């Protein structure tokens, strides 16, 4: 069966949604980094946390590179608009991820330039400011960007902040906070599953539950804004149309893939944190991880499917980006479909490496046996 151009555009949005949802789950690495300064007691516990996360941060980058590369190939116009227009917010995000990589590499190196505490501070910045800025950037897919595409097909930004203004929009701020608390919940649950340190894991169990509370306090604010927010759709001709409550309409129109995924995902997320807080189980990360992925899928589906503009222009709504006007040609997408066969291979690699690294919980004794491979 041959897919037409629009079907290929939908197919690739679904593929990107899947990878993006899995990356959202993998932000437990960043969330765990923020717990260094709030949950760990003493250098030994910090070493346990950093080394447990250090076995996974490269897998997070694998998914990030896969997501970014596939998005660039499938929807290059979004890359052109966002990275050449809102480049300061993306540079901020990139800098925090560079700090993360440097910190894992040099934190315990003999004679390192700054000392452990500075690198631990860098890890906290990546897990808090980096994830907050990333969430605010994703929030602009709902609230819009200050871009315009002129007659020469050049992208122009409407202010000198070039994306940083997103950090002042209440909805974007709330979305950023949502991602920070979500990452902290997942980080605590992952560490409970991966560490053999009873006193530390008991504090982590409490941390997962405590961070779940502000997370769910942010959600009503986002839903209320969704209800009042004007979204943009498009007709068969491709003309952009202002539609009040468009995203909320999508939430229900998509059925199981919208409201269903959100409700099931939220229940699983809360269930995983509750499992860790009120039982001795270490499996909460899997329940909450599946829930997080479902929430991520629903969010991306609401943004781009059901004939929705996934990046509205605040300066000229007619310039808003959709999967139809922002995608590559049919030939490119059809060729890329063969590349999509590699996605399960990459995900299988991530699962295999995960299982290999987490064959048993990490303990203080493991750190003493292999002191040359401590992050």
102: buried, middle or exposed (CB in 10 Å: 19+, 13-18, 0-12)?
A: middle
CA dist 252 and 302 (Å) reads 9
CATH topology of domain 5-362: Formate dehydrogenase/DMSO reductase fold (1.20.1630)
Angle (nearest 5°) at CA 43 between 41 and 47: 105
- If you ran DSSP here, which 8-state letter would residue 256 be given? G
What pairs with residue 321 in β-bridges? 311
CA dist 232 and 262 (Å) reads 22
Residues 20, 269, 185, 93, Cα dihedral to 10°: 20
How confident is the model at residue 170, as a pLDDT? 94
Neighbours of 83 (CB within 10 A): 15
Per-residue pLDDT tens digits of the chain, which is 375 residues long: 588 899 999 999 999 999 999 999 999 999 999 999 889 888 889 989 998 998 888 778 777 887 888 888 899 999 889 888 898 999 999 999 999 989 988 888 877 778 888 999 999 999 999 999 999 999 999 999 999 988 777 889 989 999 899 999 999 999 999 999 999 999 999 999 999 889 999 999 999 999 999 999 999 999 888 888 889 999 888 789 999 989 989 999 999 999 999 999 999 999 999 999 999 999 999 999 999 999 999 999 999 999 999 999 999 999 999 999 999 999 999 988 887 777 778 778 777 877 777 767 777 776 666 655 577
pTM of this prediction?
0.92
CA dist 98 and 93 (Å) reads 9
Angle (nearest 5°) at CA 135 between 79 and 193: 120
What are the helix (H) ranges across the chain? 5-26, 28-34, 42-54, 57-74, 76-85, 87-106, 116-125, 131-143, 170-194, 198-228, 246-253, 259-278, 284-304, 330-339, 342-357, 364-369
Cβ atoms of 233 and 308 within 8 Å: the answer is yes
Residue 18 CA to its chain's centroid (Å): 11
Cβ atoms of 292 and 269 within 8 Å: the answer is yes
How confident is the model at residue 56, as a pLDDT? 84
- If you ran DSSP here, which 8-state letter would residue 317 be given? G
How confident is the model at residue 284, as a pLDDT? 94
């Amino acid at each position: 069966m041959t897919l037409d151009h629009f079907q290929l555009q939908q197919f690739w949005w679904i593929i990107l949604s899947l990878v993006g949802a899995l990356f959202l789950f993998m932000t437990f690495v960043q969330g765990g980094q923020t717990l260094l300064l709030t949950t760990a007691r003493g250098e030994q516990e910090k070493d346990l946390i950093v080394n447990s996360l250090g076995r996974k941060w490269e897998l997070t980058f694998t998914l990030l590179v896969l997501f970014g590369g596939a998005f660039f190939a499938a929807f290059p116009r979004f890359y052109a608009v966002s990275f050449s227009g809102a480049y300061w917010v993306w540079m901020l995000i990139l800098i925090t991820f560079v700090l993360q990589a440097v910190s894992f590499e040099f934190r315990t190196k003999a004679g390192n330039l700054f000392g452990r505490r500075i690198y631990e501070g860098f890890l906290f910045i990546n897990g808090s400011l980096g994830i907050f800025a990333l969430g605010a950037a994703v929030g602009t897919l709902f609230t819009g960007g200050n871009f315009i595409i002129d007659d020469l097909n050049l992208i122009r930004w409407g202010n000198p902040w070039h994306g940083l203004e997103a950090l002042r929009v209440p909805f974007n701020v709330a979305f950023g906070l949502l991602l920070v608390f979500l990452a902290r919940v997942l980080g605590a649950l992952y560490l409970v599953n991966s560490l053999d340190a009873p006193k530390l894991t008991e504090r982590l169990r409490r941390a997962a539950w405590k961070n779940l509370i502000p997370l769910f306090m942010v959600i009503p604010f986002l839903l209320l804004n969704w209800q009042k927010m004007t979204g943009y759709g498009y007709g068969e001709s491709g003309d952009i149309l202002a539609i009040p409550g468009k995203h909320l309409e999508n939430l229900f129109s998509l059925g199981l893939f919208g409201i269903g995924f959100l409700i099931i995902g939220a229940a699983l997320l809360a269930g995983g944190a509750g499992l860790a807080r009120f039982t001795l189980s270490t499996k909460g990360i899997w329940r909450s991880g599946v829930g997080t992925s479902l929430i991520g899928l629903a969010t991306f589906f609401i943004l781009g499917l059901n004939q929705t503009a996934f990046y509205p222009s605040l300066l000229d709504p007619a310039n808003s980006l959709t999967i139809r006007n922002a995608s590559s040609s049919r030939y490119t997408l059809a060729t890329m479909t063969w590349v999509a066969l590699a996605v399960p291979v990459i995900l299988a690699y991530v699962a295999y490496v995960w299982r290999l690294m987490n064959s048993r919980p990490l303990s203080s004794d493991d750190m003493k046996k292999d002191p040359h491979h401590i992050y």
